[in-house]
Structure formats: structure tokens, C-alpha cells
Amino acid sequence: MNLAREVLRSEEEIAQRITQLGRQITSDLEGKELAVLGVLKGSFVFVADLIRSIRLPLQVGFLEITHSQKSDYLTEILFYSSFRVEGTNLLIVEDILDTGITLAYLQEQLAARGPRSIRICTFLDKPDRRKVDIQPDYVGFPVPNLHVVGYGLDYEGRFRNLPYLGYVQ
């Protein structure tokens, strides 16, 4: 797999957009405490930068989800961080929103834990691939239907450390 020469989003564009997202989240939740829940592994870089742009008291946790080999529709939460969800203003942070199946499942599971509110922030969005009706509250960038890498996203475990977004061919 070769990394394409074309950069989809530069390091500077990413930094600027994350600052804008942080300001918007801060404005939308002014005066409230936030619980940020990052979905591993692809979101870890985005979460780290995003929380530094949010000017609210917050807690941070991470979870990992696995996909069943038998069906796209069966997923399982592998790890759940130990912070309290009940009564919080929860922000689920995802690296990429594609079919929406995983995020819809996660949203349903977390809603059962009694948060005050749930919002979704995705770094990248592929709305044309949606299989379930789920819309993010905050979007970093829409992306074409390519295998995007960099800024935490990988291909076979590689390319997560790129400071920009590219794609593999």
C-alpha cells in the first residue's frame, strides 16, 4: 500500500478546524461540565487536541469496540473507562462516521446509563455510506469514500502518526 501524494487535509487545516470545533462545543455547553468519551483507537489524537480547545470543566475516558466477524450489525464494547456517565453531558468522539452502525449501537448502550445529554463529534464524516439514521452534532471534515489515513487513522496499523490526512491506494 502506498500513501497517495495528495494530502486531503493539511496539518494546519486540521488544527484550525479543531479550534473551531472546540469553540462551538464550549459555546453550546457554556456553564456545564462535559464528559468526553473517545472511541479507540483512531480517535486518540483527535480527542487529545479537541479537549485542549474546549474551555469547560471536563472528564475524559476511552472505550474500544469490536465488530463481529459474522455481521456488520453486531458489535461489542471491549473496554469502558471508569468515569461516570449518569447525569453527565456526554460527548462521544469518533474518528470517522461511516455506516453509523457502530455509533448507533454505542449511543444506545450509553443512553441506557442515564446521561443528561448525548452529543456526537466526529473528526471525519462519510454521509453517503450511512446505513442507519444517525447524524453527528459536530463534524471536523466530510471526506470522500477513500481509505483515509493519518492523524490517528490507520491502514493495517500503520500511518496513525502522520500529522495530516491522506489516503491509501
Catalytic machinery residues: 98
Confirm if 143 and 8 have CB atoms less than 8 A apart: yes
Burial 138-165 (b: 16+ CB within 10 A, else e): bbbbebeeeebbbbbbbeeeebbebeeb
d(CA 90, CA 146): 30
Q: Residue 10 carries which side chain, given as an amino acid letter? A: S
The CA-based angle 96-101-149, given to 5 degrees, is 20
Strands 147-149 and 166-168, how do they pair? antiparallel
d(CA 77, CA 91): 17
Among candidate residues 69, 71, 126, the one with its CA nearest the CA of residue 94:
126
